[in-house]
Amino acid sequence: MRVVVYGAGQLAQMMYLAGSPLGIDVQAVDVNSDTVVHPVSKTSLDIPLEQALDEADALTVEFEHVPERLLEEAARTTKLMPNIDSILVGADRVREKKLLESMSVANCEHKIVTHLEQLDDCVSVLGNRLILKASRDGYDGYGQWRLTDPVDLPALKKALSGLDLEAVPLVVEKMVAFDRELSLIGVRNAKGEVRTYPLAENLHHQGQLHVSVAPATHVDEALQAQAHDIFVKLAEGMNYVGVLAVELFQVGDKLLVNELAPRVHNSGHWTQSGAVTSQFENHLRAVCGLPLGDTTAIGPSAMVNIIGCNSFSRELLSIDGSHLHWYGKSVREKRKMGHINVTTNSYPELGEKLMALSNFLPLEYFPKLIEEATRLKG
């Protein structure tokens, strides 16, 4: 079987690695050059894109910002999974909010802004603390602005004055005082079967994910069921096939959907060694029409992103239960270079192992590690 993935980054690479034992060959499309490349070496496979699409059993994406002309070409083959509408929902916060509202899925109170004057209205309706998000092409905290005091509104308007808000509206949200950030990774196949993983707890710094812990601590059955129900509602409503990530805010015992990612997701990387079946394998199983794999967690796990740094001691592998996943990219500030998964038998043990890990890493690049290790050690 063969799957063609739009995007040639680390997610395509990890799909390739997961597909290999199943006899599923994964090819990647570099969407900047429309070339078909090997997902690990990134070298050209010397196959015209059209031929690769013809020969593939399924087409999928590793990121939602694939040029629309390519997505439309892929959709015409009827082999694109998830479907084009689901991918476009992930690429456009206005579409995303409309979908959530149409399905009555709880999300952050918001307004769509196409003219700067509407911001005054946002302050009167949503309050003084706002987060403004570009509806397209924003990710990892880019394309976002915050208002914490209305006296800053004129300066904010000035900063935004160069944007064409009619072309790319802003989604303006009330700043939510959430208790924590969680995500649910789930998978659905064309037969409508669904499996969801245990909730992961995600720690961000400057808008980027740094550490995930899964299963998240202090999750009772009701909270997991609430997340599962949100997933089922969304995945069924979108007629979704593949892995879908739902980013959530927990406020008391309620979950609000922050964002959807129509693909395998960074907060699901822990499943590579922390769950019976990884998100990458389950995504391939879903798009290839194979039975879905067990999503049970093996034990408490953490995923630690390596961001903007490439010098650390490989001796970290001396920690039992640790695995390094390196993406082979050149280093750049804030760039995700790789991640470390650690799977253990208990949360205190996970805390001990994260503390041990901190001895091998330049901590200025891992601002959440010690704090999380300390919390888990208890």
Residue 62 interacts with ligand AMP (CB under 6 A)?
no
Residues 257-296, interacting with ligand AMP (CB under 6 A): 258-259
Residues 131-160, interacting with ligand AMP (CB under 6 A): 131, 133, 141
351 contact partners, CB below 8 Å, separation of at least 6: 372, 373, 374, 375, 376, 377, 378
Q: 182 vs 286, which CB is nearer to ligand AMP?
A: 182
What is the Cα Rg of the chain in Å?
21
Nearest CA among 103, 81, 268 for reference residue 191: 81
Task: Write the binding mask 72 to 111 for ligand AMP: x where contact by CB under 6 A, - elsewhere.
Answer: ------------------------------------x---
What's the start-to-end Cα distance of the chain, in Å? 47
Q: Which of 84, 88, 123, 176 binds ligand AMP (CB under 6 A)?
A: 176
Task: Supply 119's token pair.
Answer: 């911001």
Q: 146 vs 233, which CB is nearer to ligand AMP?
A: 146
Q: 259 vs 281, which CB is nearer to ligand AMP?
A: 259
Q: Which helix (H) or strand (E) holds 150?
A: none
Q: 145 vs 365, which CB is nearer to ligand AMP?
A: 145
Task: Write the binding mask 187 to 226 for ligand AMP: x where contact by CB under 6 A, - elsewhere.
Answer: -----------------x--x-------------------
Stretch near ligand AMP under the rule CB under 6 A, chosen from 11-19, 34-42, 173-181, 261-269: 173-181
- Estimate the share of the chain in helix, then strand, then coil, as percent rounded to the nearest 5: 35, 30, 40
Residue 127 interacts with ligand AMP (CB under 6 A)?
no
Q: 75 vs 251, which CB is nearer to ligand AMP?
A: 251
CB 172 within 8 A of CB 240: no
Residue 181 interacts with ligand AMP (CB under 6 A)?
yes
Q: Which helix (H) or strand (E) holds 288?
A: none
User: Cis omega (within 30 of 0) on the bond before 215?
Assistant: yes
Nearest CA among 59, 87, 12 for reference residue 244: 87
Q: 247 vs 372, which CB is nearer to ligand AMP?
A: 247
User: What is the three-class DSSP state of 249?
Assistant: strand
Angle of helix 84-91 versus helix 93-102 axis, rounded to 10: 110
Residue type, 305: N
Task: Write the binding mask 302 to 341 for ligand AMP: x where contact by CB under 6 A, - elsewhere.
Answer: ----------------------------------------
Site of interaction with ligand AMP (CB under 6 A):
108, 131, 133, 141, 173, 175-176, 181, 204, 207, 247, 258-259
